[in-house]
Amino acid sequence: MLNKATQETVAAGGTAAAPQDIAATMRVLGTSARKAARKLATATTAQKNAALQAMADAIRAATPEILAANARDIEAMKANGQTAAYLDRGTLTEERIEAIAKSLEDIGNLPDPVGQVIAEWDRPNGLHIERVRTPLGVVGVIYESRPNVTADAGALCLKAGNAVILRGGSDTFHSNRAIHAALERGLVAAGLPKEAIQIVPVADRAAVGEMLKGLDGTIDVIIPRGGKSLVARVQAEARVPVFAHLEGICHLFIDKAADLDMAIDVTANAKMRRTGVCGALETLLVDRSVADTHLVPICKALMDRGCEIRGDEEVRARLAEARPASEDDWRTEYLDAILAVRVVDGLDTAIDHIETYGSHHTDGIVTDDPKAAESFFQNVDSAILLHNASTQFADGGEFGMGGEIGIATGRMHARGPVGLEQLTSFKYRVRGSGQMRP
Amino acid sequence: MLNKATQETVAAGGTAAAPQDIAATMRVLGTSARKAARKLATATTAQKNAALQAMADAIRAATPEILAANARDIEAMKANGQTAAYLDRGTLTEERIEAIAKSLEDIGNLPDPVGQVIAEWDRPNGLHIERVRTPLGVVGVIYESRPNVTADAGALCLKAGNAVILRGGSDTFHSNRAIHAALERGLVAAGLPKEAIQIVPVADRAAVGEMLKGLDGTIDVIIPRGGKSLVARVQAEARVPVFAHLEGICHLFIDKAADLDMAIDVTANAKMRRTGVCGALETLLVDRSVADTHLVPICKALMDRGCEIRGDEEVRARLAEARPASEDDWRTEYLDAILAVRVVDGLDTAIDHIETYGSHHTDGIVTDDPKAAESFFQNVDSAILLHNASTQFADGGEFGMGGEIGIATGRMHARGPVGLEQLTSFKYRVRGSGQMRP
């Protein structure tokens, strides 16, 4: 009888493999990636951009194969009774494939971070010191069933001079492999090692476990892209650094000096522009001083847009339509048209609430009082803090980074949007004229 | 019968504790540190500097107690038959205590990294984005028997706004505790939480294991300071990020365009200034083109200074006094007056040797050819690269960082000297005027 992991492999069209075979397969991926990373580290910007263009061309040329592979995945997903929303995320069309190719070209147009001098200074003894960006090395990306991530993550890592090992969701196994095959052709056409972008060739989940152990030190960082359960597993099991956010319980505080119209607009955009993104608002905090003037108009504007309001006693006393909020609501990332609303006793109480229940992702304040904004900026320990702007700006593209591979809430290395710069490390170059240390 | 860990605790004057008690003790340290870190994050520069001054004053005032505690440690070390060199490292004198106090004042005079705006830019929609330094959070420092680290590490972490949990070597348990007691008095005198700098109150090694597990997520990073076996254990077991270098197998390459006098001076300084530091030269690579002119004078200069030379066949053909080098010698950090020397076929072979045998710590080239230096800088993947300067400049103080807590060879977050800046993270502050995301 097949075990669960093997069943999954077979269902996804792979061949059943024993755990030791998977470990061996993954070790080969790791060693090849490390070798490719060394070559990529000294690849020129022109070489990397040529590869990105060749990858885009190869994706376009492979449209029929990619669509055929995707049809196979979709059929299996339908047979497994997946929801319409899930099927939509996994479905590729000619337009979506063109968008993938275009995105590769866009990444080609971004400035190359590698070799940038981040800082330089002279020492009294005449030494000149430069801190210069270098690639990180080998990145492992573990993602759920969005085939475009195969190309996006591969391209961002390549541009930053890193080798990448991709492990996509098993539901889009064939789509991911077809896209990856095109990327590989682009790399080869541009004279870069095809091992610069590798994809795990088995759908077996044991492969994820091997990646999380770091493949004998060959993986430098793991980036998970997907839902909370994926990220939680990665954070719990990874023996290498992880760039991730577990959830985005984003807050907006309506200060006593908030302009009402701005508060309505910013709240509505933060909550309802898209409810399923990590920068979507989940909890609204309203200063008691303006609860009587601001709370109801803001909540009504949201209800008009189809949002359910869950409030504390103070909110429900002012807004009969509000459902009661429980302690759980303050800790919930709805990713849906639901908003938790609480009346608080001023800025400090709002900050306490955010530090108690928040996820250190993105939090904002609406106020015309610069001092209140400064205090909020100083005292809230989140990756992204906003003053008078929608929390949905929490995005590498919106930050002008030209793209992101995710958003991190950890404090090490990368925090906030993880773009090209965050995918690099640095080294010191010291120039002397025979200096000896006394 | 007592187990080994308990025996150690008792020998060090602590009370024997069951493993579950140690875990509980350590958890309390973690929770207190996290609480203190939140307060430190918003402490002003003046508050932190006042605390550093008060700590320096308290250290000076506590000189008799510190000397008495140290005498107790030294007596136990002598009874255990420790070497003279080991005893010297662990011994405190009035002068050394004054140096510790002075070092605290020096750290007070360094610029405060917290709140520094590292980058800022405007977006077309009018959003102004700042990346600003914040503390990292809670640092765990695990060190061997150098009591001055107690004060140095505590002070550097404090200045960067971090809480720290210190775990010093059990051989200087009492000295560390006496120094720590003075630091605590300084913190309290300046109105900062005394939990900002905590020391593990038991000498039991199980405490280290608990720290490496991260104390329920309360420790953000571990910094080991000590020999290779300590660092290796920390790197193998830590479930949190580690800033460290396992070893410094530092190379110097004498290029064919190297000036002979400079090559002699720089090599002699790199090897012999101090042989026991991590930036000390361990392997010399000489370009075959200058082997006949440069190799013997450089090696003779080292031998005159008491250095043993271990060479490959090519070296021994030119220098009869050289002992034969084995494969192991290329992988050895001697930390002693011994140098491995090899003749290589040009720059690329030198780079290959360094990438094969090196430790990515510090490597240098001596050459008058800027192109050779550029190629070396580009192709050697080490934290610190030097051109025409001694490898012994691998030091935060020499880099102008004003002090360091160690040197890191990892690629994540901190690389090279770990000074105040490297002990910080960052967050984004975004200022708008009601912007909504389209």
- Cβ of A389 and B425 within 8 Å? no
Sign of CA dihedral A146, A152, A156, A158: positive
> Cα–Cα distances in Å, from B96 out to B105, B179, B405?
14, 12, 18
**Amino acid identity for residue A285 in this structure:** L
A407 found inside a domain: no
List of chain A residues whose C-beta atoms are within 8 Å of the C-beta of residue B412: 136, 220-221, 241, 412-413, 425
pLDDT given for residue A8 in this prediction: 41
B41 touches A at CB < 8 Å: yes
Question: Distance, in angstroms, between A231 CA and closest chain B CA?
Answer: 16
List of chain B residues whose C-beta atoms are within 8 Å of the C-beta of residue A413: 412-413
CA distance A433 to A191: 38
| Strand ranges in B28-179 using DSSP code E only, listed in sequence order | 117-122, 128-135, 138-143, 163-167
Domain co-membership, A116 together with A17: yes
CA distance A322 to A318: 9
Rounded to 5 degrees, φ, ψ at B140 are: -105, 125
pLDDT given for residue A17 in this prediction: 61
pLDDT given for residue A160 in this prediction: 98
CA distance B241 to A38: 24
A8 found inside a domain: yes
Which residue is listed with tokens 């497994």? A80
CA distance B120 to B134: 15
| Strand ranges in A68-179 using DSSP code E only, listed in sequence order | 117-122, 128-135, 138-143, 163-167
What token pair was written down for B117? 């705006």
A373 touches B at CB < 8 Å: yes
Q: Where are the alpha helices (DSSP H) in B91-147?
A: 94-109
B51 found inside a domain: yes
Question: Distance, in angstroms, between A339 CA and closest chain B CA?
Answer: 18
Domain co-membership, A273 together with A229: no
Question: Which A residues in the span 204-223 are in contact with B, Cβ-Cβ below 8 Å?
Answer: 220-221
pLDDT given for residue A64 in this prediction: 98
A426 found inside a domain: no
If one counts every other C-beta atom within 10 angstroms of the C-beta of residue A421, the result is 17
Q: Which residue has the higher pLDDT, B352 or A204?
A: B352
DSSP B112: P
A275: CB partners within 8 A, 6+ apart: A334, A335, A336, A337
- Cβ of B136 and A392 within 8 Å? no
DSSP A174: H
CA distance A431 to A428: 10
pLDDT given for residue A1 in this prediction: 33
- Cβ of A432 and B387 within 8 Å? yes
pLDDT digit string (tens) for B152-181?
Answer: 999 999 999 999 999 999 999 999 999 999
| CATH number of the domain encompassing residue A117 | 3.40.605.10
CA distance A133 to A117: 6
pLDDT digit string (tens) for B202-230?
Answer: 888 899 999 999 999 999 999 999 999 99
* 3-state class (DSSP) for residue B417: strand
What token pair was written down for B355? 């990438």
Domain co-membership, B368 together with B280: yes
A370 found inside a domain: yes
Contact between residue A295 and residue A315 where contact means Cβ atoms under 8 Å apart: yes
B437 found inside a domain: no
CA distance B207 to B191: 29
| Strand ranges in A211-337 using DSSP code E only, listed in sequence order | 221-225, 250-254, 281-287, 308-311, 323-324
β-bridge mates for residue A132, sequence order = A117, A427
How many degrees, rounded to 5, is the angle at CA B92 between CA B86 and CA B93? 130
β-bridge mates for residue B251, sequence order = B283, B363
B306 touches A at CB < 8 Å: no
- Cα-Cα-Cα-Cα torsion A209, A214, A215, A221, nearest 10 degrees, comes to 120
What token pair was written down for A278? 């990590």
Domain co-membership, A200 together with A255: no
Q: Which of B237, B268, B296 is the last residue of a domain?
A: B237
b/e A175-206 (16+ beta carbons within 10 angstroms → b)? bbbbbbbbbbbbbeebebbebbbbbbbbbbeb
Domain co-membership, B317 together with B206: no
> Cα–Cα distances in Å, from A176 out to A107, A200, B14, B295?
19, 10, 59, 56
- Cβ of B429 and A136 within 8 Å? no
Domain co-membership, B8 together with B81: yes
CA distance B100 to B73: 18
pLDDT digit string (tens) for B84-139?
Answer: 888 998 999 999 999 999 999 999 999 999 999 999 999 999 999 999 999 999 99
CA distance A344 to A360: 19
CA distance B434 to A390: 8
Distance of CA B125 to the CA centre of its chain: 44
Domain co-membership, B225 together with B275: no
From the list A265, A377, A435, which residue is nearest B390 (CB)?
A435
Contact between residue A429 and residue A120 where contact means Cβ atoms under 8 Å apart: no
B346 found inside a domain: yes
* 3-state class (DSSP) for residue A141: strand
pLDDT given for residue A4 in this prediction: 39
Number of domains in chain A: 2
Domain co-membership, A326 together with A214: no
Question: Distance, in angstroms, between A42 CA and closest chain B CA?
Answer: 7
Range of the domain at B361: 250-398
CA distance A207 to A25: 9
| CATH number of the domain encompassing residue B314 | 3.40.309.10
List of chain B residues whose C-beta atoms are within 8 Å of the C-beta of residue A437: 269, 273, 390, 392-393, 395, 398
β-bridge mates for residue B411, sequence order = none
- Whether pLDDT at B145 is above 60: yes
DSSP A64-76: HHHHHHHHHHHHH
- Cβ of A416 and B430 within 8 Å? no
The order of strands in the sheet holding B128-135 is: A323-324, A308-311, A338-344, A281-287, A250-254, A362-366, A384-389, B424-435, B128-135, B117-122
B426 found inside a domain: no
- Cβ of B385 and A429 within 8 Å? yes
> Cα–Cα distances in Å, from B423 out to B97, B136, B363?
25, 6, 24
CA distance A179 to A177: 5
Residue of A nearest to B137 (CA): A411
* 3-state class (DSSP) for residue B369: coil
β-bridge mates for residue A224, sequence order = A142
Domain co-membership, A256 together with A199: no
Q: For every one of its 438 residues, what pLDDT tens digit does chain A have, with 9 covering 90 and above?
A: 333 333 344 344 445 566 779 999 999 999 999 999 999 999 999 999 999 999 999 999 999 999 999 999 999 999 999 988 889 989 999 999 999 999 999 999 999 999 999 999 999 999 999 999 999 999 999 999 789 999 999 999 999 999 999 999 999 999 999 999 999 999 999 999 999 999 999 888 899 999 999 999 999 999 999 999 999 999 999 989 999 999 999 999 999 999 999 999 999 999 999 999 999 999 999 999 999 999 999 999 999 999 999 999 999 999 999 999 999 999 999 999 999 999 999 999 999 999 999 999 999 999 999 999 999 999 999 999 999 999 999 999 999 998 899 999 999 999 999 999 999 999 999 999 999 999
pLDDT given for residue A251 in this prediction: 98
CA distance A29 to A74: 28
DSSP A387-429: EEE-GGG-STTTTTSS--S-EE-SSSS--EE--TGGGEEEEEE
Parallel, antiparallel, or unpaired for β A250-254 and A281-287?
Answer: parallel
pLDDT given for residue A16 in this prediction: 52
A428 touches B at CB < 8 Å: yes
List of chain A residues whose C-beta atoms are within 8 Å of the C-beta of residue B385: 427-430
Of A158, A150, A126, the residue nearest A49 (C-alpha): A158
List of chain A residues whose C-beta atoms are within 8 Å of the C-beta of residue B382: 427
| Count of alpha carbons within 13 angstroms of residue B370, beta-carbon side | 1
Domain co-membership, A153 together with A225: yes
Rounded-to-5 percentages of helix, strand, coil across chain B? 50, 20, 35
Domain co-membership, B232 together with B264: no
What does the radius of gyration of chain B's CA atoms come to, in whole angstroms?
A: 24
A427: CB partners within 8 A, 6+ apart: A131, A132, A134, B381, B382, B383, B384, B385, B415, B416
A384 touches B at CB < 8 Å: yes
**Amino acid identity for residue A185 in this structure:** R
Rounded to 5 degrees, φ, ψ at B73 are: -65, -45
- Cβ of B412 and A398 within 8 Å? no
B430 touches A at CB < 8 Å: yes
- Cβ of B437 and A398 within 8 Å? yes
- Cβ of B432 and A385 within 8 Å? no
Contact between residue A171 and residue A79 where contact means Cβ atoms under 8 Å apart: no
> Cα–Cα distances in Å, from B85 out to B118, B146, B307?
43, 12, 19
Q: Which of A237, A263, A280 is the last residue of a domain?
A: A237
How many degrees, rounded to 5, is the angle at CA A105 between CA A116 and CA A119? 10
Query: In a mutagenesis test of the A interface, which of B157, B348, B387, B437 is the best target, namely the one with the most A β-carbons within 10 Å?
Result: B437
A119 touches B at CB < 8 Å: no
Domain co-membership, A187 together with A103: yes
CA distance B399 to B403: 9
Contact between residue B390 and residue A435 where contact means Cβ atoms under 8 Å apart: yes
B389 touches A at CB < 8 Å: yes
- Whether pLDDT at B4 is above 60: no
Q: Which of B199, B215, B237 is the last residue of a domain?
A: B237
What token pair was written down for B292? 């006949």
B134 touches A at CB < 8 Å: yes
- Cβ of A392 and B437 within 8 Å? yes
